[in-house]
Amino acid sequence: MDRLLFGDNQFFGVNHMSEEKARAQAIRFQDTGAIIDVLDIAYAEGIRAFMCTTHERIAEVCDHVRDRPDQYEGFKFYPCMPYAHKYANAVTEFGMLGALRHFLPDEGFVNAAMRGGKALATKDIEGMVTLLVDAEMKMFQGLSTPVIFLQNVVVDLLLGLGFDEAFRIFADHVRSRYGAEPGFITMNLPPLLDTLERVGVDNPIVCFNFNKLGFRVSGGVEAYEQALDSRRFRPIAMSVFASGAIAPREALEWIHEHRSIESVAFGASSSANIRSTVGLSTEIWDSARSRTAG
CB 218 within 8 A of CB 188: yes
Query: What whole-number percentage of the chain has pLDDT above 70?
Result: 81
* CA–CA–CA angle 36, 256, 204 (5° rounding): 70
pLDDT at 64: 98
Q: What CATH number does the domain located at 4-96+132-293 have?
A: 3.20.20.100
Alpha carbons 260 and 225: distance in angstroms, whole number: 10
* CA–CA–CA angle 94, 95, 98 (5° rounding): 60
153 Ramachandran zone, left/alpha/beta (phi>0; psi -120 to 50): alpha
Locate all alpha helices (DSSP H) within 179-233, ordered by sequence.
189-198, 221-230
* pLDDT one-digit tens code per residue, 118-142: 444 444 567 777 888 998 999 999 9
In the predicted model, what is the mean pLDDT of residues 273-288? Answer: 93
Confidence (pTM): 0.85
Dihedral sign of CA atoms 240, 242, 243, 244 in order: negative
Using CA atoms, how far residue 176 sits from 149, 171, 234, in Å, is: 15, 9, 20
Confidence at 110, pLDDT banded by 50, 70, 90: very low
In the predicted model, what is the mean pLDDT of residues 149-175? Answer: 94
Alpha carbons 77 and 127: distance in angstroms, whole number: 25
Higher pLDDT, 248 or 92: 248
Alpha carbons 45 and 257: distance in angstroms, whole number: 24
pLDDT of 103 above 70: no
pLDDT of 194 above 70: yes
* pLDDT one-digit tens code per residue, 34-82: 999 999 999 999 999 999 999 989 999 999 999 999 999 999 999 999 8
- In this structure, what DSSP letter does residue 51 have? E
In the predicted model, what is the mean pLDDT of residues 86-113? Answer: 54
CB 254 within 8 A of CB 231: no
pLDDT of 100 above 90: no
DSSP, residue by residue, 99-164: HHHHHS-SS-HHHHHHHHHHHHHHT-HHHHHHHHHHHHHGGGTTS--SEEEEPHHHHHHHHHHT-T
CB 207 within 8 A of CB 232: no
Confidence at 92, pLDDT banded by 50, 70, 90: low
CB 245 within 8 A of CB 217: no
Q: Please state the domain extents for the chain.
A: 4-96+132-293
CB 26 within 8 A of CB 70: no
* pLDDT one-digit tens code per residue, 238-251: 999 998 999 999 99
CB 39 within 8 A of CB 11: no
